[in-house]
Amino acid sequence: MSRPARSRWLWPLLVASLSVNVLLASYVATLIWRLDMPIVEATNPMRVLQRASTFLAPEDRAAAERAVAEREAAIAGTEANVVAARAKLVALLQAPELDPAAIRATFDEVRSWRSRSFDLIVDAVIETLQTIPPERRRELMENFRAR
């Protein structure tokens, strides 16, 4: 008696799925470990920036703090919008009638706010790096890689 074709692929697919999940979890854990940060804080851009600034030499930290402070209100605003869009998404997903168009639009809204927040962070990082002499930037990256 032969086995159904479906069951022949079930175990390899399960193993592949578990492998991908372990790989992704390992990647996230490694990033969090490198920043030496609890997982809850790893999703807060301001905490990530503050923690990352501890890798800087004392003479470069002031520039980083200034760049972040200039954008702090804007980052907080975009993060509040991310939280609000996520709450809206949860409400849509729990609604008795599923509205795929509204769900897609809300996913796009979450992504858009997250992207704006990320752009502000990148701007702060670039502004800071522009003030650091090349030799200290190299040293900073070598220290970060060594962790």
37-46 pLDDT, tens per residue? Answer: 555 455 566 7
Radius of gyration of the chain (CA): 21
Residues 72 and 138 in one domain: yes
Residues 2 and 68 in one domain: no
Average pLDDT, the chain: 80
- What tokens were used for 126? 């670039």
What confidence score (pLDDT) does residue 17 get? 80
Residue 56: pLDDT band (50, 70, 90) is: confident
Give the pLDDT confidence of 79-103 residue by residue, as tens digits: 899 889 989 999 999 999 989 999 9
Residues 58 and 125 in one domain: yes
Residues 124 and 72 in one domain: yes
Q: What is the pTM of this model?
A: 0.61
Positive or negative, the CA dihedral 52, 56, 59, 63 is: negative
Range of the structural domain that residue 21 is part of? 1-35
Q: How far is Cα 103 from Cα 99, in angstroms, rounded to an integer?
A: 6
Residues 70 and 142 in one domain: yes
Residues 14 and 63 in one domain: no
What confidence score (pLDDT) does residue 1 get? 52
Alpha helices in 36-133 (DSSP H): 45-53, 58-94, 100-130
Quick one: angle between helices 45-53 and 5-35, nearest 10? 50
Residues 50 and 114 in one domain: yes
Judging by beta carbons within 10 Å of its beta carbon (0-12, 13-18, 19+), is residue 1 exposed, middle or buried? exposed
Tell me which of 14-18, 104-108, 114-118 is least confident. Answer: 14-18
Asked whether the beta carbons of 40 and 123 are under 8 A apart, the reply is: no
